[in-house]
């Protein structure tokens, strides 16, 4: 584990390597504790580089046993080897040369799960971002592309399966007990895309015929006995391949595409060329063990990793500062895929919920950074929602500004021009400028300026002149390292909704650039005047969430209700309901804090119940509308000095008022949507279950008794209904006999299924109240809990820290102290996991002073540890000092 304070890497310091890597030949002799890795690397000096410049290769905790230069043992005077680097001097000035380096590594002891590791009998790699240097000495950076030939030798009985990137060349026996397999990837790739898997796994196989008529073999490897649960993943893969051909014109380029599902994995999945490695929670599903959300996640992540074949693999990023170029772009592509597979409006609502709950706080806190950062200490800490989700939103805004046709032309040009390249954000944007003829220089500030733009809006209608004037002012808050910001180009979709619910059309619009239904806000302050408007319309702004901004628009409750009833954009209708709810919820939190009785607006409740009862709306949308802003949303709206207990109490009071008033309506919804027929994971079935279960939640709240939820638990024939009923019981009636029986039954039924037990852990970890800490500590002693498995840790400790505001933010600070102990225990074995968990404390300054002081003390305890990893040191320093 690296425990240095970390060298700051700057974008401005980028320069190409001194040597060009032409070819990589790797031979692995696998052994649980003594794996031998032979790397034969062919280089030549880059033209114009100083003839005395040495070759410097990266390493991380490596042991070298041999070093050859052109197959001759190299004089020790010509090189310097440490566990972290290999420097070779006196190299040829112009001709290619070969370096052969042999290292010994211990996969069994690699608990960091970076590089080559062995877990549950399976050898597996994870090389992004800098894991390959834990395998062998190498120029381990994304702009070093080469073709790879891989030879794997291993015990045949223990490892009948030997996989790597590219196409299979062949294999045979190797001595009495071993065998070997050879793979060749003809497409140059960076080291972070290297993959190796060896072990004994079951197989699900299929084929896909590409648009040019080639047959591609598809293979998904899972643990034996779990093959039937990979069927949906295979279906999602085939749909992804077809969609990418139809929408982006991208065809798969190898003879085989493989997915391997493993249970010990730091990430969700990894797009290694031709050999994707997945956390098994994003591959395995059946109705008994997976929720509708699990199915949706599998579909999206399978697609995301496959889409990387072009946006990430065929075209990779020049350096890690360009990470959004592969991740943000690919998130946009998987969002569009999911929108086409499911309900576009409901998918968009879910995306924005996630963005606001995760990325907006990141943008507003000490960990804020631009979509394309300019410096980092530890690159693993920049796999963030800013890079992924906000990066996706930036791509979406390009599509909004240019329109469908010019956006497609820009993407086509990008694929054509940069296939085989390590590209930059500037390369990407230039393609759209050339394809459309539009100057995107101001728009590019979205890549360079951190922070969520705040837009203040006002409107004035002149009945005599029949004009509407819309005045907008943008402000981007200061963020770490960026105190002054320039005005952004912000595309805002809009509609003017008449009294009868139709959309009014202006005869002319003055004051700025308007294309179709998009206002282009480019100045700090700007007014748009709409002429020919016969009566005062209601303004619907930022429809479809066309820009990731926060609007401050003092619209009346009547205007918001009008949008909620009539807007043709379902996202805008949902947003209007949210805007109606937030003042009610924030007022309730303040009232609860002050010890008063919470009073809920009848007009808000009436508007909400009207949407719930509207059978013309799809069930999934109504379920989203009934899902009120979360406690985290309320805290963000309050802005600071937050008391999580008061926020929880206020929100519960509002929910109870809705439940009591709408009890009959919820009973009707529950009865109407309970008979959904045979389980199907499609959008229609999932929407009906979502609406049914939120109706169940409200009814249980109105009745204040566990019987209805206990009955639903007993009758459930799928995991969505089962886990929702269990959640209602545990969260509303944690001490009830029915709840204890249901938790015990769930544990017994799924004792052999770790992924399902993760739900059992998470449901209990999020039971509100101060007693949850004792519950979490007791669950850590469960035989089902494995502290070395990232999924188990995330399901219990991570869910508690990120998803239980009242329990984690106990007023006495005990949970913060517990959390600090866990971070310090996890860090030595898995720094990535520890660092990502630690971000749960990024918003500690927004707490009321007593809690904030205790959270700061816990962070200081972590900071004081003398042996922190670079990963954790980077996060704790920024969170404390940012």
What does the DSSP assignment read for 43-60? EEEPTT--TTPPEEEE-S
Q: What pLDDT, on the 0 to 100 scale, is given for residue 1?
A: 61
Helix (H) and strand (E) counts for the chain?
A: 30, 34
Closest to 121 in 3D by CA, of 185, 203, 198 = 198
765 sits in which H/E element: helix 754-765
Query: Locate tokens 């008449």: which residue?
Result: 498
Task: With CA atoms as reference, report the closest residue to 723 among 795, 807, 791.
Answer: 795
| Tokens (6 digits) for 620 | 């999934």
Q: Quick one: how far is CA 39 from the chain centroid?
A: 34
The string of pLDDT tens digits covering residues 6-51 is 789 999 999 999 999 999 999 999 999 999 999 999 999 999 999 9
Q: How far is CA 673 from CA 244, 562, 687, 688, 695, in A?
A: 35, 27, 10, 6, 9
- How far is residue 240 CA from its own chain's centroid? 18
Q: Where would I find the H helices in 403-449?
A: 404-418, 425-436, 445-448
Instruction: Report yes or no: 787 and 780 within 8 Å, Cβ to Cβ.
Output: yes
Which of these, 714, 6, 695, lies nearest to 375 by C-alpha position? 6
Distance CA 553, CA 473 (A): 11
**Burial of 507: CB neighbours in 10 Å, binned 0-12, 13-18, 19+:** exposed
Question: What is the SS3 assignment for 66-127?
Answer: EEEECCEECCHHHEEEECCEEEECCCCCCCCEEEEEEEEECHHHCCCCCEEEEECCEEEEEC
Report which DSSP code applies to 390: I
- Sign of the C-alpha dihedral, residues 143, 144, 146, 151? negative
Residues 6+ apart with CB under 8 A from 553: 456, 457, 458, 539, 541
Say which DSSP state 292 is in. Answer: H
CA 500/CA 562 separation, integer angstroms: 10
**CB 110, CB 117: distance < 8 Å:** yes
364, 337 contact by CB (below 8 A): no
Q: Rounded to 5 degrees, what angle do the CA atoms 549, 550, 555 make? A: 130
pTM tops 0.75, yes or no: yes
HSE-CB at 723 with a 13 A cutoff on CA atoms is 24
Centre a 10 Å sphere on the Cβ of residue 465 and count the other Cβ atoms it contains. 12
Strands 467-475 and 454-462: antiparallel
Beta bridge partners of 508: 531
Residue 582, C-beta contacts closer than 8 angstroms, at least 6 positions apart = 629, 633, 634, 637
Please spell the DSSP secondary structure of 794-817, one letter per residue.
IIIIIHHHHH-HHHHT-TTSHHHH
The answer to whether residues 58 and 34 touch, using CB atoms and an 8 Å cutoff, is no
Q: Residue 616: is it exposed, middle or buried by C-beta count within 10 angstroms (0-12/13-18/19+)?
A: exposed
| 878 φ/ψ angles, rounded to the nearest 5 degrees | -70, -40
Q: Say how many residues make up the chain.
A: 882
Residues 6+ apart with CB under 8 A from 194: 26, 125, 127, 132, 135, 148, 164, 165, 272
Tokens 């982006």, residue?
248
Dist. CA 669–CA 619, nearest whole Å: 10
- Report, as residue numbers or ranges, the catalytic residues: 305
Q: Which residue has the tokens 């329990």?
A: 807
Tokens standing for 542? Answer: 């930022």
Give the per-residue SS3 of 612-641.
HHCCCCCHHHHHHHHCCCCHHHHHHHHCCC
Residues of the chain with pLDDT under 70: 1-5, 676
Classify residue 879 by burial, with Cβ atoms within 10 Å: 0-12, 13-18, 19+.
buried
**Residue 664, both tokens:** 């009959």
Question: b/e per residue, 636-675, with b = 16+ CB within 10 A?
Answer: bbbeeebbbbbbbbbbbbbbbbbbebbeebbbebbeebee
Instruction: List, in sequence order, every residue forming a beta bridge with 528; answer none if it has no partner.
Output: 470
Q: What are the distances in angstroms from CA 699 to CA 671, 739, 844?
A: 12, 17, 35
Rg of the chain on CA atoms, in Å:
28
Contact criterion met (CB below 8 Å) for 580 and 630:
no
> For the chain, first and last CA: distance in Å?
25
Structure-token pair, residue 547: 């820009």
pLDDT tens, 651-694? 999 999 999 999 999 999 999 998 768 899 999 999 999 999 99
């Amino acid at each position: 584990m690296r425990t240095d304070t970390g060298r700051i890497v700057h974008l401005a310091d980028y320069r190409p390597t001194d040597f060009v890597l032409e070819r990589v030949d790797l031979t692995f002799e696998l052994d649980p504790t003594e794996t031998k890795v032979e790397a034969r690397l062919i280089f030549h000096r880059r033209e114009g580089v100083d003839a005395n410049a040495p070759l410097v290769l990266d390493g991380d905790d490596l042991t070298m046993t041999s070093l050859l230069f052109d197959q001759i043992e190299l004089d020790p005077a010509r090189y310097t080897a440490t566990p972290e680097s290999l420097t070779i001097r006196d190299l040829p000035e112009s001709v290619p040369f070969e370096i052969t380096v042999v290292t010994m590594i211990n996969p069994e002891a690699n608990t960091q799960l970076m590089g080559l590791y062995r877990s549950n009998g399976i050898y597996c790699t994870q090389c992004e971002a800098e894991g390959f240097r834990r395998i062998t000495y190498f120029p381990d950076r994304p702009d070093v592309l080469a073709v790879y030939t891989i030879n794997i030798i291993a015990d045949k009985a223990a490892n009948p399966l030997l996989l790597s990137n590219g196409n299979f060349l062949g294999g045979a026996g190797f001595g009495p007990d071993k065998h070997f397999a050879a793979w060749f990837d003809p497409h140059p790739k960076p080291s972070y895309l290297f993959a190796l898997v060896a072990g004994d796994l079951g197989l699900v196989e299929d084929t896909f015929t590409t648009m040019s008529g080639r047959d591609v073999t598809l293979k998904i490897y899972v643990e034996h006995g779990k093959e039937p649960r990979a069927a949906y993943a295979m279906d999602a893969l085939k749909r992804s391949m077809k969609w990418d051909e139809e929408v982006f014109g991208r065809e798969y380029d190898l003879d085989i595409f493989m997915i391997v599902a493993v249970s010990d994995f730091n990430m969700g999945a990894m797009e290694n060329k031709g050999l994707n490695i997945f956390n098994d929670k994003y591959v395995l599903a059946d109705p008994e063990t997976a929720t509708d959300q699990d199915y949706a996640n599998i579909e999206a992540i399978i697609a995301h990793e496959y889409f990387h074949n072009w946006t990430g693999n065929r075209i990779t990023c020049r350096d890690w500062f360009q990470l959004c170029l592969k991740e943000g772009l690919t998130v946009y592509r998987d969002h569009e895929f999911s929108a086409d597979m499911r309900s576009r409006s409901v998918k968009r609502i879910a995306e924005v919920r996630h963005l606001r709950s995760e990325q907006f706080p990141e943008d507003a806190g000490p960990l804020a950074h631009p979509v394309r950062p300019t410096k980092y200490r530890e690159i693993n800490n920049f796999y963030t929602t800013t890079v992924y989700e906000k990066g996706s939103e930036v791509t979406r805004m390009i599509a909004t500004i240019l329109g469908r046709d010019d956006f497609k032309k820009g993407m086509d040009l990008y694929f054509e021009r940069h296939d085989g390249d390590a590209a930059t954000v500037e390369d990407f944007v230039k393609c759209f400028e050339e394809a459309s003829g539009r100057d995107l220089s101001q728009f590019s500030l979205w890549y360079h300026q951190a922070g969520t733009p705040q837009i203040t809006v006002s409107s004035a209608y002149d009945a005599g002149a029949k004009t509407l004037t819309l005045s907008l002012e943008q402000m981007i808050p200061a963020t770490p390292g960026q105190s002054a910001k320039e005005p952004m180009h912000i595309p805002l979709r809009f509609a003017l909704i008449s009294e009868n619910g139709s959309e009014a059309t202006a005869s002319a619009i003055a004051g700025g650039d308007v294309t179709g239904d998009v206002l282009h806000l480019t100045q700090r302050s700007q007014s748009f005047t709409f002429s020919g408007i016969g009566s005062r319309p209601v303004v619907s702004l930022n429809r479809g969430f066309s820009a990731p901004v926060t609007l401050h628009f003092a619209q009346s409750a009547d205007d918001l209700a009008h949008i909620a009833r009539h807007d043709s954009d379902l996202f805008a209708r949902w947003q209007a309901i949210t805007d109606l709810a937030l003042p009610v919820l924030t007022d309730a939190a303040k009232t609860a804090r002050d010890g008063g009785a919470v009073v809920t607006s009848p007009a808000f409740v009436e508007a909400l119940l009207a949407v719930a009862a509207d059978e013309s709306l799809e069930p999934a949308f109504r379920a989203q509308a009934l899902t009120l802003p979360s406690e985290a949303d309320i805290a963000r709206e309050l802005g600071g000095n937050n008391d999580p207990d008061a926020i929880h109490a206020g929100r519960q009071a509002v929910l109870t008022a809705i439940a009591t008033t709408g009890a009959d309506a919820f009973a009707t919804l529950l009865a109407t949507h309970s008979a959904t027929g045979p389980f199907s994971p499609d959008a229609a079935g999932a929407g009906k279950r979502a609406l049914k279960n939120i109706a169940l939640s409200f009814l249980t709240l109105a009745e204040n008794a566990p019987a209805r939820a206990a009955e639903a638990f007993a009758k459930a024939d799928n995991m969505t209904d089962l886990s929702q009923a269990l959640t209602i019981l545990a969260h509303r009636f944690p001490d009830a006999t029915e709840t204890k029986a249901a938790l015990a039954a769930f544990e017994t039924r799924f004792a052999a299924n770790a992924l399902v037990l993760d739900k059992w852990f998470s449901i209990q970890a999020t039971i509100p109240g101060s007693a949850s800490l004792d519950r979490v500590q007791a669950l850590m002693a469960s035989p089902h809990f494995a502290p070395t498995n990232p999924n188990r840790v995330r399901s219990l400790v991570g869910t508690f820290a990120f998803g239980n505001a009242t329990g984690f933010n106990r007023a006495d600070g005990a949970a913060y102290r517990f959390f600090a102990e866990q971070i310090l225990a996890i860090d030595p074995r898995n720094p990535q996991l520890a660092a990502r968990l630690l971000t749960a404390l990024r918003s500690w300054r927004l707490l009321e002073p007593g809690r904030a002081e205790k959270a700061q003390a816990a962070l200081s305890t972590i900071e004081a540890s003398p042996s922190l990893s670079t990963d954790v040191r980077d996060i704790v320093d920024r969170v404390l000092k940012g």
